[in-house]
Chains A and B, each alone.
Chain A
Amino acid sequence: MATASAAHHDTAHDHHDHEHHDNFITKYIFSQDHKMIGKQFLVTGIFWALIGGFLSVLFRLQLGFPDLSLEFLRPLLGGWIDETGKLDPTFYLALVTMHGTIMVFFVLTAGLSGTFSNFLIPLQIGARDMASGFMNMLSYWFFFISGVIMFISLFIKTGPAGGGWVIYPPLSALEQAIPGSGLGMTLWLVAMVFFIASSLMGGINYITTIINLRTKGMSFSRLPLTIWAFFLTAVIGLLSFPVLFGAALLLVFDRSFGTSFYLSDIYIAGEALPNTGGSPVLFQHLFWFLGHPEVYIVLLPALGITSEVIATNSRKPIFGYKAMIISMLGITILSFIVWAHHMFVSGMNPFLGSIFMFLTLIIAVPSAVKVFNYLTTLWRGNLVFTPAMLFSIGLVSFFISGGLTGIFLGNSAIDIQLHDTYFVVAHFHLVMGSASFFGMVAGVYHWFPKMFGRMMDAKLGYVHFWLTFIGVYLVFFPMHYIGIAGFPRRYYNWTNFAFTDMYTDLNMFVSAAAIITFASQFIFLFNFFYSMFRGRKATQNPWRSNTLEWTTPVEPGHGNWPGEIPTVYRWPYDYSKPGAADDFIPQTVPLSQTPESNLPHEQEMVKLELEIMKEEAEVLVANESKH
């Protein structure tokens, strides 16, 4: 039994109690403290979110207002605005590519997982820090270097990578095909290598920390769902990112060393290339072997955060704790065997398409279970609408809307028409883009008091939520119509075709909504930075939550708990338990102290618990006498 084995108390952590005296560099820059590293990931993620969002505003200007003169952007974009004041079509593709890359990898992978896995894992499982603080620091700095390289690529003469975030060769392999596939693509690949290294180091750390450093009593069946989500996310990342690395490496060989992994029978720029025998479809298989799990790498942490926030603010246990874990396990496993649903019309064997259609639609089942469980958690709750709660409800809404359109796209027969149209754009921006983004924002609102010891302003949070929630729907819902009408993705404009020469009004509307939604993020930015220094002082447990992080001091120092690490006696969702005086019972409250609210099976565990506590007290006394 986990509680029994954990009873062997170790004193190795005691030296953490002594106050650390950090200088500026070790505290804020090369910090090995998981909380500071989490905050570094967060601030960097916010920076990238602004860049990524801004790029999308640029190309939405082109799509919504094709006749608008963009002359006023010349100071920023220089030669990418041509003589007539129009955006250069190649640069348009680069914008789309960089928007995707930045948002998927830098914001929703590093900014979300990096922030909350680092910040919450030790705090919620009751550990002093990550298993390896040094590797954790390296993980951030590799991410930072990756970001610097990617940022530089935005400013080079031939422009950043422009072959779409999926970088399908031959387009991404041949400089003759698009200028962005020159130096821009090289920098993209180098940046991704650093990024992959970063996320692997992070992932290994998360996994080892969760397995090895849980406090006494914190069995896997008592872990908050956030931790389960981070754990499974890290496992997915660990298994899939190396494949992307492999795919990228072969692409580097094709680009620079004349190999033919992905290239075959190409005549370009008046020249027949010597490459034969390669297969562009091979790259797609390798890419999506990461690419699809990646969707869950960004989504699962958001779902974990939401589970925690919704339970806390419904003042109710999350409904179906075990079912939630099983669904997440199911999603984790299935996420590896659905990748080819991105490739139904890639020319691969249609029989493979059939197999992947079956597997893909299976993954909808655990997702549906999660939605129903969220709804039942809200049912007969006592809902407190903190900004985090609003964003979590928003996430569930996006998860439903975007998830349901996945059922269309996962059906290969229907996908023939919808593939690479705006229907797909609407689908994934809702289900993985906006949902994960909302999870991230919910997490920031919820754990801000723990991060900075101050509260964010709730009213500004409400305004931010409603503007963003409505804004996101106004941006992405109309794209379904545009997609059903057959508008292809990554088009600079739609006037060349009769079947797409319409909906200029709807595209203008979408662009306007996108600009307003982007602008309203500055409310959040203001709230974030202002509250960091001037927000109201937080109390120790402002949301009256059960999880361990709220038992630390308001601003936890190095080592998180000044004294002993607390022991855990119950699961994290004892909210509104019948018989209990308060509507929450923190995980650190022993069952023996709450006979009035214990369920029958818990009452049986009380005896065992008392035995363990007695044993522990003996160990403690023995340790004391050693000093």
Chain B
Amino acid sequence: MYGFLIGVGVLLVLSIVWMVYRIQTLVSVVKGSDKKIASGSNKVNAILFVLFLLASGALMFWYSIKEFDNYQLPIASEHGVVTDSLFWITMAVTGVVFLITHVLLFVFPYKYQYKEDRKATFYPDNNKLEVVWTAVPAVVLAGLVISGWMAWSDITAPAPENAHVVEIMGYQFAWEIRYPGKDNVLGDYDYRLITASNSHGVDFTDKNALDDFPSPRVVIPKGEPVLFKIRARDVLHSVFAPHMRLKMDAVPGMPTRFWFVPTKTTEEMRAELNDPEFEYEIACTEICGRGHFGMKKVIEVVEPEAYQKWYAEQKTFIQQNPALAEGLSADVKELAEIQLRESKK
């Protein structure tokens, strides 16, 4: 019944529109306005441009100011401060250009709308002007590029020696975390070794792998450099930690990396935002299939002391699942067994 009523309503509206359209066509034919170069609509359009400029400009400023705290995510890394200041400098520069060009673009139509008794100014070129507005953007852009390049070089420079290493592996549709353990060296891995109990494909014949441990969340210390070693085991993924201003693709067959220095612990951020539930999050930003929108991992930033304590308490892969040590060569197995004994104490 509703469908029928809606149908009738739509039909009515359409027929009214149709009649208005026919009437205005006939009126314009009678008035002969279709023969004129510019009818009264010309003025209406000219005014609408100015109205559009004022209304949309007001809306933009009002919303940008009102919502600032919502869309401006708090920054929690050292380089994030740099990239955000670059962002806002660029915003200022482009904002000025945006406003000036749009004011001109919408005021000119009003000011120079068609008048029968006026002739447009024949003004085909002016090389001086062209040079000016080639050179000025070039200089301004050069400034932006150079500051961007300096920031980019710092961010992508090799990680400091003392960086805390965390391996993040993406797969459909989650992340898995591996820490290098006491030796601070991640053990080898091979995708062919992946099994249900060894989801990372860690190669336990490598001694460095024996003390590696998994973690359900990324725990990192505040104020110290952290190196994310990123890889994927099936399709492309991308590690995105918005508060850290961090993003790097996870590529199967090609490990990638991103290092940074977190500046605020989770607790500090909770206090700052007055949100006791707050967590730093990692999301996936490279389309990877059905569950792309749900690849969440929590980052917990803690004080360095708390980090050391937490780090020492973690159980290695082998301690969690002694079966992984089976079939290893004698010397490696011995090391593994020492570990197992220690964990039982």
A residues near B, CB below 8 A?
A: 89-90, 93, 163-164, 168, 170-171, 174, 177-178, 263-268, 272, 276-281, 314-323, 345-347, 350, 353-354, 357-358, 361-362, 364-365, 368-369, 371-373, 375-376, 378-385, 390, 393, 396-397, 400-401, 404-405, 407-408, 411-414, 416-417, 419-421, 457-460, 462, 466, 469-470, 473, 477, 481-482, 484-486, 488-494, 496-500, 502-503, 536, 544, 573, 575-578, 583
List, in ascending order, chain B residues with CB within 8 A of A578's CB: 122
B288 → chain A, closest Cβ, in Å? Answer: 6
Instruction: Give the contacts of B116-132 with A (CB-CB under 8 A).
Output: 118-126, 129-130
Cβ contacts A to B, 12 pairs, < 8 Å: A168-B236, A266-B233, A277-B253, A317-B124, A357-B145, A379-B104, A383-B108, A400-B101, A408-B91, A458-B41, A460-B21, A497-B283
A409 → chain B, closest Cβ, in Å? Answer: 10
Q: Is the CB of A316 within 8 A of B73?
A: no
Instruction: Give the contacts of B21-44 with A (CB-CB under 8 A).
Output: 21, 24-25, 28, 34, 37-39, 41-42, 44
Chain B 235-272 interface 0/1 with A at a Cβ cutoff of 8 Å (1 = within) = 11010101101111101111010000000000000000
A420 interface neighbour in B24, B83, B286, B294, Cβ under 8 Å: B286
List, in ascending order, chain B residues with CB within 8 A of A322's CB: 125
Any A CB within 8 A of the CB of B215: no
Taking A321-B125, A347-B249, A357-B148 as given, write out 14 further A-B residue pairs in contact, using a Cβ cutoff of 8 Å, ordered by the A residue number: A170-B252, A266-B252, A315-B114, A315-B119, A320-B130, A379-B112, A400-B105, A404-B98, A407-B144, A412-B148, A414-B90, A416-B246, A486-B73, A496-B294
B114 interface neighbour in A272, A382, A573, Cβ under 8 Å: A382
Q: Is the CB of A485 within 8 A of B71?
A: yes
Instruction: From known contacts A265-B191, A350-B152, A413-B151, infer whether A383 and B249 are also in contact, taking CB-CB under 8 Å.
Output: no
Instruction: From known contacts A376-B123, A411-B148, A499-B73, infer whether A404 and B21 are also in contact, taking CB-CB under 8 Å.
Output: no
Instruction: From known contacts A316-B122, A317-B124, A400-B101, infer whether A177 and B234 are also in contact, taking CB-CB under 8 Å.
Output: yes
Chain A residue nearest to B151 in the complex (CB): A413
For A322, A350, A365, A375, which residue has the most chain B Cβ atoms within 10 angstroms? A365
List, in ascending order, chain B residues with CB within 8 A of A458's CB: 39, 41
Any A CB within 8 A of the CB of B160: no
A393 → chain B, closest Cβ, in Å? Answer: 6
Q: Is the CB of A268 within 8 A of B234?
A: yes
List, in ascending order, chain A residues with CB within 8 A of B93's CB: 407
Any A CB within 8 A of the CB of B310: no
Instruction: From known contacts A420-B285, A490-B287, infer whether A267 and B201 are also in contact, taking CB-CB under 8 Å.
Output: yes
Chain A residue nearest to B119 in the complex (CB): A576
B63 interface neighbour in A376, A481, A486, Cβ under 8 Å: A481
Q: Is the CB of B238 within 8 A of A345?
A: yes
A98 → chain B, closest Cβ, in Å? Answer: 14
A297 → chain B, closest Cβ, in Å? Answer: 23
How many A-B residue pairs have C-beta atoms within 8 angstroms? Tell me. Answer: 346
CA distance A375 to B209 in the complex (A): 65
Chain A residue nearest to B139 in the complex (CB): A365
The stretch that binds A, out of B46-54, B219-227, B327-335, is B46-54
CA distance A357 to B253 in the complex (A): 26
List, in ascending order, chain A residues with CB within 8 A of B309's CB: none
CA distance A315 to B38 in the complex (A): 12
List, in ascending order, chain A residues with CB within 8 A of B281's CB: 497-499
Chain A residue nearest to B135 in the complex (CB): A365
CA distance A477 to B71 in the complex (A): 14
CA distance A460 to B263 in the complex (A): 57
Instruction: From known contacts A412-B148, A490-B292, A491-B292, infer whether A177 and B235 are also in contact, taking CB-CB under 8 Å.
Output: yes
List, in ascending order, chain A residues with CB within 8 A of B254's CB: 264, 279-281, 347
B251 interface neighbour in A347, A362, A393, A490, Cβ under 8 Å: A347
Any A CB within 8 A of the CB of B344: no
Instruction: From known contacts A378-B105, A412-B152, infer whether A168 and B287 are also in contact, taking CB-CB under 8 Å.
Output: yes
CA distance A583 to B122 in the complex (A): 10
CA distance A277 to B191 in the complex (A): 13
Q: Is the CB of B256 within 8 A of A575?
A: no
List, in ascending order, chain B residues with CB within 8 A of A365's CB: 134, 137-138, 141
Q: Is the CB of B134 within 8 A of A369?
A: yes
CA distance A121 to B124 in the complex (A): 24
A298 → chain B, closest Cβ, in Å? Answer: 22
List, in ascending order, chain B residues with CB within 8 A of A178's CB: 289-290
Chain A residue nearest to B84 in the complex (CB): A417
Chain B residue nearest to A274 in the complex (CB): B192
Q: Is the CB of A385 within 8 A of B38?
A: yes
Chain B residue nearest to A575 in the complex (CB): B120
A303 → chain B, closest Cβ, in Å? Answer: 15
